[in-house]
Structure 1
Amino acid sequence: MKRNVPLLLLTAALGLNACATTPTTLTPKPVNVTVLGLNDFHGNLAPTSFTKAGTTTPVKAGGIEAISAELNDARKANPNTIFVGGGDLIGASPINSGLLRDEPAVYALNDMGMKVSALGNHEFDQGLDELFRMQNGGCASNDTTKACKFDPSYKGATFKWIGANVKYNAASGKTGTPFAPYSIQEIGGAKIAFVGAVTKTTPGIVSPEGVAMLDFTDEADAVNAVIPEIKAKKVDAIVMLIHEGGEILRRDADGNEINKDVNYSTVGCTALDTKSPIYGIATRVDPAVSAIISGHSHQGYNCLVPDPTGKSRIVIQGDFYGHLLQHLELKVDTANHAVMTVSAANLVVDYTAREAAGTLDFNMTKLLTTANAKTDAISNVTIANLGSPQIQRGVSNARNTESALGDVIADALLAGTQAQGAQIGLMNPGGIRADLPDATRIKPGNAVNFGDVFAVHPFGNTTTVLSLTGQQLKDLLEQQWSGPNATAIKLLQVSEGFSYSYTLANPDGQRINIADIKLNGTPISATATYRIATNNFLAAGGDNFTIFKQATNVVQLANLADTDILSNYLKAKGSTLTNTVKGRITAK
Structure 2
Amino acid sequence: MSESTRTRARRRRLLTAGAASVGLVALAIPAAAASVPAHHPAPKHHHVPVHHPAPKHQPPKVHVENLQLLAINDFHGNLEPPAGSSGTIQEKDATGAVVSTPAGGVEYLATELRKARKGHRSSLTVAAGDVVGASPLLSGLFHDEPTIEAMNKLGLDVTSVGNHEFDEGSAELLRLQNGGCHPTDGCYAKGRKFKGADFEYLAANVTNEKTGKPILAPYWVKKVNGIKVGFIGVTLKGTPDIVTAAGVKGLKFGGEVETVNKYTAQLKKQGVKTIVALIHEGGYPAGNTYDADCDSPGAGAGISGPIVDIAKKIDPEVDAIVTGHTHNAYNCTIPDPAGKPRRVTSAASFGRLYTEIYLPINRATGDVIRSSVTAANHVVRRTVPKAADLTDLISYYQKIAEPIANRTVGYISADINGRGSSAYEKPLGDVIADAQLTGLAPADKGGAQLALMNPGGIRADLVQQASGSEGDGVVTYAEAFAVQPFTNMMNVIDLTGAQLIAGLQQQVSGSNEAAPKILQVSRGFTYTLDLTKSGADRVVVSSVRLNGEPIDPAKTYRVAMNEFLAGGGDGFAAFAGGTNKLVGASDLDVFTDYLTAHSSAAAPLAPPAQDRITVVGPGSDLN
1:150 to 1:312, Cα distance in 2 relative to 1, 3 A: farther
Question: Aligned partners of 2:154, 2:318: CA distance in 1, in Å?
Answer: 26
Aligned match of 1:313: 342
Report 1:228-243 matches (<5 A). Answer: 228-243=265-280
Aligned match of 2:500: 473
Question: Aligned partners of 1:472, 1:267: CA distance in 2, in Å?
Answer: 41
Aligned with 1:145 (options 185, 188, 202): 185
Question: Aligned partners of 1:534, 1:230: CA distance in 2, in Å?
Answer: 46
Deviation at 1:315, TM superposition (A): 1.3
Question: Aligned partners of 1:438, 1:208: CA distance in 2, in Å?
Answer: 36
1:294 to 1:44, Cα distance in 2 relative to 1, 3 A: same
Aligned match of 1:540: 567
Q: Is the 8 A contact 1:248 1:271 kept in 2?
A: no
Structure 1 counterpart of 2:88, one-letter code: F
Aligned match of 1:408: 431
Question: Aligned partners of 1:304, 1:283: CA distance in 2, in Å?
Answer: 10
* Length-normalised TM-score, structure 2: 0.83
| 2:70 is aligned with 1:46 | no
Deviation at 1:284, TM superposition (A): 0.6
Question: Aligned partners of 1:199, 1:501: CA distance in 2, in Å?
Answer: 32
Q: Is the 8 A contact 1:264 1:318 kept in 2?
A: no
Aligned match of 2:151: 109
Task: Write out per-residue CA displacement over residues 58-87 of structure 1, whole angstroms, 9 at most, x where no aligned residue.
Answer: 443222111111111122131321111110
SS of the residue 1:476 aligns to: helix
Structure label with greater radius of gyration: 2
Aligned match of 2:598: 573
Aligned with 1:159 (options 199, 223, 227): 199
Report 1:142-291 matches (<5 A). Answer: 144-145=184-185, 148=188, 152-169=192-209, 173-249=210-286, 259=287, 263-266=290-293, 268-269=295-296, 276-291=305-320
Structure 1 counterpart of 2:114, one-letter code: N
Report 1:181-580 matches (<5 A). Answer: 181-249=218-286, 259=287, 263-266=290-293, 268-269=295-296, 276-340=305-369, 341-351=372-382, 353-354=383-384, 359-388=385-414, 390-395=415-420, 398=422, 401-419=424-442, 420-437=446-463, 440-441=466-467, 443-557=470-584, 560-574=585-599, 575=603, 577-580=605-608
Question: Aligned partners of 1:433, 1:487: CA distance in 2, in Å?
Answer: 21
Aligned match of 1:79: 121
Question: Aligned partners of 2:466, 2:67: CA distance in 1, in Å?
Answer: 35
SS of the residue 2:557 aligns to: strand
Structure 1 counterpart of 2:451, one-letter code: G
1:496 to 1:140, Cα distance in 2 relative to 1, 3 A: closer
Question: Aligned partners of 1:484, 1:326: CA distance in 2, in Å?
Answer: 30
1:379 to 1:89, Cα distance in 2 relative to 1, 3 A: same
- Larger RCO (CA within 8 A; separation ≥ 6): 1
Question: Aligned partners of 1:146, 1:437: CA distance in 2, in Å?
Answer: 33
Work out the number of aligned pairs and report it. 542
Question: Aligned partners of 1:58, 1:486: CA distance in 2, in Å?
Answer: 30
Deviation at 1:262, TM superposition (A): 5.5
Task: Write out per-residue CA displacement over residues 187-244 of structure 1, whole angstroms, 9 at most, x where no aligned residue.
Answer: 2333221111100110111111232211111101110111121122233421111000
Task: Write out per-residue CA displacement over residues 531-578 of structure 1, whole angstroms, 9 at most, x where no aligned residue.
Answer: 111112211222221211111221111xx1212111121122234533
| 2:67 is aligned with 1:33 | yes
Question: Aligned partners of 1:228, 1:313: CA distance in 2, in Å?
Answer: 18
Structure 2 counterpart of 1:368, one-letter code: I
Question: Aligned partners of 2:252, 2:563: CA distance in 1, in Å?
Answer: 23
SS of the residue 1:79 aligns to: coil
Aligned match of 1:122: 164
Deviation at 1:263, TM superposition (A): 4.0
Deviation at 1:440, TM superposition (A): 4.5
Bigger drift between 479-488 and 462-471 goes to 479-488
1:519 to 1:119, Cα distance in 2 relative to 1, 3 A: same
Q: Is the 8 A contact 2:187 2:193 kept in 1?
A: no
Q: Is the 8 A contact 2:160 2:235 kept in 1?
A: yes
Q: Is the 8 A contact 2:495 2:558 kept in 1?
A: yes
Question: Aligned partners of 1:122, 1:132: CA distance in 2, in Å?
Answer: 13
Structure 1 vs Structure 2 CA RMSD: 2.4
Deviation at 1:489, TM superposition (A): 2.2
Aligned-residue sequence identity (percent) comes to: 39
Bigger drift between 288-297 and 265-274 goes to 265-274
Question: Aligned partners of 1:440, 1:283: CA distance in 2, in Å?
Answer: 43
Structure 1 stretches of 5 or more lacking a match?
A: 1-13, 15-24, 250-258
Bigger drift between 333-342 and 315-324 goes to 333-342
Task: Write out per-residue CA displacement over residues 100-143 of structure 1, whole angstroms, 9 at most, x where no aligned residue.
Answer: 010010011011121110110000111111111111111253xx
Question: Aligned partners of 1:381, 1:471: CA distance in 2, in Å?
Answer: 43
Structure 2 stretches of 5 or more lacking a match?
A: 1-26, 28-58, 617-623
